[in-house]
Amino acid sequence: MPVNEIEHKRQQLIKTALHYGINSTKTIQCSQELDLLILQEIKGLNKETLKENSRNA
């Protein structure tokens, strides 16, 4: 997943929070979507690290 997708969602979250407030349902949903994107990126990086470690062992 491209990092720019995470950055795009982060910018969307900021705009949503400014417009609707940080406690709005729309802002919370956007925040959760960003969390999922970040988690997917972390999982992908961990898989790459495991592959690299197994090749070097």
Report pLDDT digits (tens) over 11-40: 999 999 999 999 999 999 999 999 999 999
Q: Hey, what amino acid is at 18?
A: L
Residue with tokens 């900021």: 14
pLDDT reported for residue 41: 92
Q: How many residues in the chain?
A: 57
Q: State the pTM of this model.
A: 0.80
Task: Quickly count: other Cβ atoms within 10 Å of residue 37's Cβ.
Answer: 18
